[in-house]
């Protein structure tokens, strides 16, 4: 009975295997304890709290296994009910996770899958460096901690924090299996959205192997050359390949996808940008989500400082898309008060001294 990874990141079948020769019902009990209190206390913190386990077993488990990751937490709260947690794991890496609040009071947990991000998008603070993938327990831990700080039940999860989720598919899948299992937390898969910059192979893998979550593509622009300049990782992922993967995802029952466009002042808000997005969206069941760029100091595109689009620029671009027959939504700038909005994560990378 030994496992170096915390039990909180293990799906039930893996937990049963790790706990052998204990009977399966013991694994089921522990799995429930890991999930217990979600919506209130967000899971037990130690084996000693598992009151329906014999005391000698609780002692043995504590001596041989790790229940949850060791983590140091810094909390930053905003006036709108949003909160950002900066988490430092035992090896010193920092990760940020955000609780977002909208005007209706709905709470959304925004989770990270990597420490930093290898995608290198020039308009995103997270892309300024990459440390490592997170394991499933570290992803689940973010959810537990966000639930704990939320004053209301968390109704949605977006995997849109630090990192490219589809470059860490195995650990993401395990984490979501823990979060959605009916034997444990039981969070609805249809209330989870995974956002990708366009890893075509990862989209196909998600379509084939699940989980059956919602999918968002960080498109930003459908101008191939501009997209590669803004998002270097897309040089190996052509828009044609990405669209083919999205069509396959929908053929396999994946449902409507969201095409996200971060609007950069004077860069990707021209009429031709609207036309190229409309052309990319043809044949897809898609909604366009416009995200006015959230300011981050020091970010540049080819030597020129990136700036926010004006209100009239956003309005004109929205109308252009709608004229082309597209369904368009705008993302509210949630989390800006704690530097936890889209593109603003990644302020804590250094190891605490």
Catalytic residue IDs:
96, 342
What is the DSSP secondary-structure string of 195-212? EES--HHHHHHHHHH---
Q: Is 350 exposed, middle or buried (0-12, 13-18, 19+ CB in 10 A)?
A: exposed
What is the DSSP secondary-structure string of 246-301? HHHHHHTT---EEEEEEE-TTTS-SHHHHHHHHHHHTTS-EEEEEEEPPP-TT-EE
Separation CA 64–CA 91 (nearest Å): 20
- Spatial contact of 296 and 265, defined as CB atoms under 8 Å apart: no
**β-strands 328-330, 257-263: how paired?**
unpaired
Who contacts 136 (Cβ-Cβ below 8 Å, separation ≥6)?
5, 9, 10, 171, 172, 174, 175, 178
Q: From residue 331, how far is each of 16, 258, 314, 334 by CA, in Å?
A: 42, 12, 12, 8
- Spatial contact of 194 and 147, defined as CB atoms under 8 Å apart: no
Q: Is 55 exposed, middle or buried (0-12, 13-18, 19+ CB in 10 A)?
A: exposed
- Spatial contact of 222 and 279, defined as CB atoms under 8 Å apart: yes
CA 80 to chain centre: 21
Tokens of 117: 């991000």
- Spatial contact of 107 and 100, defined as CB atoms under 8 Å apart: yes
Closest C-alpha among 194, 196, 127 to residue 343: 127
């Amino acid at each position: 009975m030994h496992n170096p990874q915390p039990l909180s990141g293990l799906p039930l079948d893996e937990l049963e295997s790790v706990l052998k020769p204990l009977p399966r019902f013991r694994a089921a009990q522990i799995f429930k304890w890991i999930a217990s209190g979600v919506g209130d206390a967000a899971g037990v913190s130690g084996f000693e709290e598992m009151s329906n386990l014999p005391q000698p077993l609780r002692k043995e488990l504590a001596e041989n296994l790790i229940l949850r990751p060791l983590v140091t937490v810094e909390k930053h709260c905003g006036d709108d009910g949003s909160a950002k947690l900066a988490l430092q794991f035992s090896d010193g890496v920092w990760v940020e996770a955000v609780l977002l609040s909208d005007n209706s009071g709905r709470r959304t947990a925004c989770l990270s899958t990597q420490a930093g991000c290898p995608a290198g998008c020039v308009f995103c603070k997270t892309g300024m460096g990459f440390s490592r993938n997170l394991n499933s327990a570290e992803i689940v831990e973010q959810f537990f901690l966000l639930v704990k700080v939320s004053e209301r039940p968390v109704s949605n999860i977006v995997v849109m924090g630090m990192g490219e989720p589809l470059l860490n598919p195995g650990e993401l899948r395990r984490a979501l299996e823990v979060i959605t299992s009916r034997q444990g937390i039981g969070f609805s898969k249809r209330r989870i959205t995974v956002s990708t910059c366009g890893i075509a192979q990862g989209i196909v893998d998600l379509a084939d192997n699940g989980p059956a979550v919602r999918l968002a593509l960080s498109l930003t622009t459908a101008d191939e050359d501009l997209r590669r300049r803004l998002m270097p990782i897309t040089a190996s992922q052509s828009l044609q390949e990405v669209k083919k993967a999205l069509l396959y995802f929908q053929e396999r029952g994946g449902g409507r996808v969201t095409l996200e466009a971060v609007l950069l002042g004077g860069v990707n808000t021209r009429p031709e940008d609207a036309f190229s997005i409309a052309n990319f969206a043809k044949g897809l069941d898609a909604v366009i989500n416009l995200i006015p760029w959230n300011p981050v100091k020091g970010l540049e595109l080819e030597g020129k400082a990136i700036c926010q689009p004006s209100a009239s620029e956003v309005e004109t671009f929205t109308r252009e898309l709608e004229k082309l027959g597209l369904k368009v939504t705008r993302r509210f700038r949630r989390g800006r008060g704690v530097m936890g909005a889209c593109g603003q994560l990644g302020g804590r990378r250094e190891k605490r001294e």
